[in-house]
Structure 1
Amino acid sequence: MDATASISSSLPVSAELGERLGWLIRLRWLAVAGVALFVEVARRVFPVHLPMWRLYLTFAALALSNGLYWLWLRRLHAGKAHREWPWTRPLVRFLLPSSPGGAGDVGSAGPAVLFANLQVAIDLMLLAVLLHFSGGVENPFLYFFIFHVIIASILFSRPATFVHASWSVALIAAVATSEGLGLVRHWPLGGAWTPTAYRDPAVVSAQLLVFATTLYLSAYIGSTIADRLRRREGEVVVLSLEVSRKAETLAAALERVSQAERAKSQYLRKVAHELRGPLGTMRTTMSALLAGVAGELPRPAVGLIRRIEARTGDLAQVTADLLTLARAREGRLAVELAPVDLAAMVREAAEDARPAADRAGVTLNVRITGETATIVGDAAALRELAGNLVGNAIRYTPRGGNVEVRLERRGGAIELEVEDTGIGIPAADLGRVFEEFYRSSNARSHSSEGTGLGLAIVKAAAEQHGGRVEVRSAPGQGTCFVVTLPAEPVTA
């Protein structure tokens, strides 16, 4: 189903008409009271003689009809007036304004749109009766018919609006003609009009021509504006439906990606657990052999066992990193949250890495500024984060280089920066450094150590704490990793 086909369900025509019918009924109550008050004032202020009982009888008819409209509208809202006659469908389609989704819910809108047209038609007829009893075409309020034409342009289709305009012209023409021919009594207003002006065909024709032109122009302008507004409204609904559908599709895709990530993490954790036991046994056995438990070994065998032990140690480190990464990816930090003093943790990570820095001939500096940085988080994961960044910086910095660790609170965030003067990262590799098992080309040639999981662990740990990791680097110019974490206040 495309978006426009859903318009009828998003903007039900019957519901929209029901709201506007309520507005029209409230407006009619105000009109009855306002016109009655004006007539009372006019007959006392102006030198006119009006058939008051006839006017008030018309007001009563208008008020009575409005009361019936209100009762019927209550039935419509209660769902008791939705009966549809098949023979009215063509008429309903003619009366309903066009919509981007086509006819929409024509069946449910049928009673409402027929009822609305009946109201406007009866209003125009009663307005013509009021004008007949108050001067006919002499009455300057003749142009109040325009209001109903504008209302029709809002509620109905353009052809239906012109039908109501034609009905208005026909009613006024009937009043003017019947009065001019003496078929009904003329109730003059006096003033600028001569006593026989209502019988002058030229005067009446000119008045009717101006009236009809004004009404048809109003119908055209009103219906044009209403059509444009409906089209704009339809376009907005189509766009909102498209955005909603795209959002649902994106949410479903993100859920599938999340499920795939969870499945991958669970698989990694399972593999790591399965490997950890045998690897531990192998390392213990080789240590025992090298210690002479099984007797003295030939020199070539000792060399081979030491190489096996080293490679087994590398593999054990990979399994440990896999477990750490899986633990962070699965979101298992939530059960281990506690206040963490980042300043103390960063100093500890730096001190743990200092022997490696001394062996590599790298100067390691720590600079912590501002207030003590304490957040609520997983201490083990944050230690892994800091340790991996500092360890990587030392590993890939040549002898004589520098590694600087900076911790600073900036507003509502805490920034941990680890910057080195090392080999840097090629631009082509920057986008992939946080992938599992990925090592840049110059990193592999510089050092055989490393599992390719350290930065993936850093990124996962930062994201689990609501933070992010950024990297700036260029080959031969060093690297700077910036971890931004939200500063959560610790309450007692």
Structure 2
Amino acid sequence: MGLWRIPAGRDWAERVCWLSRTRLAALGTLGLLMALGTIWMRNTLPMVGLWSTWLVAVLLGLAFYGLICRVTGWAISSRTRAFLVHLQLVCDVLVLTSLLHFTGGVENPLSVLYPLLVVLSSSFLHRRVALYHALFASLAWVSLLLLELHGLLPHYSLPGLGPPARYAQPGLIWAHSVVMGGVNIAASLLTSGVVERARVGEAELLAAQQSCEARLGQLEALTDELRRTDEQRTLFMRIVTHELRAPVAAIKSLLQLILTGYVPPERHLEFIAKAEVRANEQLELIGDLLDLAHIREGVHLPEASVCHVQVILADVMDMLQPRFAEQGLIATSEVQSDLPPVLASQEHLKQVWTNLISNAIKYNRAGGRVEVRLYCEGAMVMGCVNDTGIGISPQDQEHIFEDFYRTEAAKHRSRQGTGLGLAIVKAIVERYGGRVWCESSPGEGSSFYFALPAMPAHP
């Protein structure tokens, strides 16, 4: 069945509809000529047979046109489409043969319409099937000539077009048959070759167009991404410039006060100490920027190894114990036993715990609590740092992990801070295939969670 299918070009429906409309227009012209012929050759040709054939052809043409071009809401399958096109072409040959029979047969010069039908069929069909249609058209013409030659069909002569007995000359009949068959086959092969090359070219052009459209979409996406990256880079540079300039300007102002003599000698150490604080802030910011850049770019990173998160947590809790005591905070930790290890850098995990717990200390209320939990959930090792501090609004939670982002409440509570701590936490956790998120309400404290893939247990 695949051989008999119609090649599915992009414009097959338009071409088939064009063929149906052309057929109806040709039948209309033929009807006008037949009307004139009825007046001119009233008693010469069998007008009943002619008009009956014409009427059948018109009805078939209208039926095909309605089915293919005018019926809406009906999706024509490829099998139905192929059947209708083949049936139209076969009917065209039969109608032409019938009309030639009633109008002189071999005497009628309009037999040249057979090659035209062959060309039309070859423009729609595969080469082998088009050849079958060419053979069918030739067979129809030869059958008509032979049937008239042997008297099985009556012959109707056309006056004024040569000797009326030509249909009874076997040599002439065979000559017409051979010529018509050769012309039909040649027309089929030539047309099919040209059309198939055109189809291949059209398919290649369509593929190239689709490839160009896909590449255009990719280029547009890359352009948008580059534009966003450039905007983020510009914003990042603006923020970094501002953050770096502020400590330098403060240090310069403090030193100028000393150098210009506005500060008495007994207060020099006080101003130098302030300048040192700002210098340390500058170094902290530069260190955070370098850490964040290295993590995101994947360069100069410490080597990942098998890490026991609970051991690193214990070290960080011991390191921060003086700060808990300084602010009068109650610190507790709850660690699930037999936790599986994770594949990460110990230095990075220490940064994660230090940043999260330091924020819980910095933004907590006096006498508050810091609760740290470490447990396993499915295939993930989960860490949670919960505090009773200032909390975070839902609007701020959407941006809390962005570079340099600090909430207004955080700025009011503590002037110190680079706004990069949580961005570093997010970059580290995602570097090792995990995720981090926050749950909080203003004035009710915050809970920061992170999840890292646990290493599979070996038997």
- TM-score of the two chains, using structure 2 as the length reference: 0.53
User: 2:63 — aligned with what?
Assistant: 68
1:251 to 2:251 alignment = no
Task: Determine if the alignment matches structure 1 residue 18 to structure 2 residue 10.
Answer: no
Correspondence for 2:53 among 58, 61, 65: 58
Which residue of 1 is the match for residue 352 of structure 2?
Answer: none
Residue in 2 that maps onto 1:265: 234
Shift of 1:48: 8.2
Shift, 1:44, TM fit: 5.2
2:90 to 85, 102, 121: 121
Which whole-Å CA distance do the structure 1 matches of 2:18 and 2:92 have between them? 15
Give the whole-Å Cα distance in 1 for the aligned partners of 2:104 and 2:222. Answer: 72
Change in 2 beyond 3 A, CA 1:169/1:127: same
Q: Which moved more, 1:57-66 or 1:267-276?
A: 267-276
Are 1:238 and 2:207 an aligned pair? yes
Alignment of 1:250-399 (within 5 A): 250-295=219-264
Q: Structure 2: which amino acid aligns with 1:22?
A: C
- CA–CA separation in structure 2 for the residues paired with 1:237 and 1:70: 28
Is the 2:122–2:192 Cα contact (8 Å) retained in structure 1?
A: yes
Question: Does the 8 Å CA contact 1:18/1:112 hold for their aligned counterparts?
Answer: no
Q: Does 1:207 align with 2:176?
A: yes
**C-alpha distance after superposition, 1:137-161 (max 9, x if no partner):** 2110011112211111211111121
Q: Determine the C-alpha separation between the residues in 2 that align with 1:45 and 1:184.
A: 24
Question: What is the letter of the counterpart of residue 68 of structure 1?
Answer: A
Deviation at 1:110, TM superposition (A): 2.2
Q: Which residue of 1 is the match for residue 432 of structure 2?
A: none
After superposition, the C-alpha distances for 1:394-431 in whole angstroms (9 at most, x for unaligned) are: xxxxxxxxxxxxxxxxxxxxxxxxxxxxxxxxxxxxxx
**Cα distance, 1:40 vs structure 2:** 3.5
* Greater Rg by CA: 2
- Partner letter of residue 120 of structure 1? L
SS in 1 for 2:103: coil
Matched residues in 1 for 2:148 and 2:63: separation? 31
Separation in 2 of the partners of 1:184 and 1:240? 56
**Is 1:222 aligned to residue 217 of structure 2?**
no
1:77 and 1:198 map into 2 onto residues whose CA distance is 48
> Deviation digits for residues 169-199 of structure 1, max 9, x if unmatched?
1111111111111111111114354333212
Distance 1:122 1:14 in 2: 23
> For 1:419-471, what per-residue CA distance to the aligned partner results, in whole angstroms no more than 9, with x for missing partners?
xxxxxxxxxxxxxxxxxxxxxxxxxxxxxxxxxxxxxxxxxxxxxxxxxxxxx
1:78 aligns with 2:47: no
2:4 is matched with none
The 2-side partners of 1:77 and 1:177 are apart by 45
1:27 Cα deviation from its structure 2 partner: 0.8
Matches within 5 A, 1:430-469: none
**Cα deviations across residues 245-284 of structure 1 (Å, max 9, x unaligned)?**
2222222323333333233333322222222322221121
Task: Give the ranges of 4+ consecutive aligned residues of structure 1 lying more than 4 Å apart after TM superposition.
Answer: 42-48, 74-77
Cα distance in 2 between the residues matched to 1:168 and 1:275:
89
Determine the C-alpha separation between the residues in 2 that align with 1:150 and 1:48. 35
1:27 correspondence with 2:19: no
Question: Following the alignment from structure 1 to structure 2, what is the Cα–Cα distance between the partners of residues 151 and 48?
Answer: 35
TM-score, L = length of structure 1: 0.50
Say if 2:108 and 2:158, in contact at 8 Å, map to a contact too: yes
**For the aligned residues, what is the CA RMSD?**
3.2
- Percent identity for Structure 1 against Structure 2: 24
Tell me which residue corresponds to 2:155: 186
| C-alpha spacing 1:195/1:264, structure 2 compared with 1 (3 Å) | closer
Aligned to 2:103: 134
Give 1:46 deviation, angstroms: 7.3
Deviation at 1:74, TM superposition (A): 4.5
**Partner amino acid for 1:225?**
V
CA, structure 1 residues 164+76, in 2 after alignment: closer, same or farther (shift >3 Å)? Answer: farther
1:38 match: 33
SS of the residue 2:262 aligns to: coil
For residues 240 and 254 of structure 1, do their structure 2 counterparts lie closer, same or farther at Cα, with a shift above 3 Å needed? same
Separation in structure 2 between the aligned mates of residue 17 and residue 112 of structure 1, nearest angstrom: 10
For these two proteins, the number of residue pairs brought into alignment is: 270
SS for the counterpart of 2:123 is helix
What residue identity is the alignment partner of 2:28?
Answer: A
State the alpha-carbon separation in 2 of the partners of residues 278 and 15 from structure 1: 67
CA distance, structure 1, for counterparts of residue 71 and residue 9 of structure 2: 9
CA contact (8 A) 1:125 1:171 kept: yes
Look up the equivalent residue of 1:62 and give its one-letter code: A
CA contact (8 A) 2:38 2:47 kept: no
Rounded Cα–Cα distance in structure 2 between residues aligned with 1:54 and 1:120 = 21
Unpaired runs of 5+ residues, structure 1, are: 1-11, 83-107, 320-492
Indicate conservation of the 8 Å contact 2:17/2:69, yes or no.
no
The one-character-per-residue Cα deviations of 1:204-229 (angstroms, maximum 9, x if unpaired) are 00111111122112112211221122
CA deviations 1:376-401 (Å, max 9, x no partner) are xxxxxxxxxxxxxxxxxxxxxxxxxx
One-letter code aligned to 1:228:
R
Structure 2 gap ranges (5+): 1-6, 287-459
Aligned partner of residue 13 in structure 1, secondary structure: coil
Aligned residue type for 1:49: T
**1:332 corresponding residue in structure 2:** none
Name the counterpart of 1:366: none
- The question of whether the paired residues in 2 share the 8 Å contact of 1:136 and 1:186 is answered with yes
Q: Kindly provide the amino acid, as one letter, of the partner of residue 196 in structure 1.
A: A
- Rounded to whole Å, the distance in 2 between the matches of 1:43 and 1:75 is 33
Q: Letter of the aligned partner of 1:32 in structure 2?
A: L
8 Å contact from structure 1 (residues 154, 222) kept in 2: yes
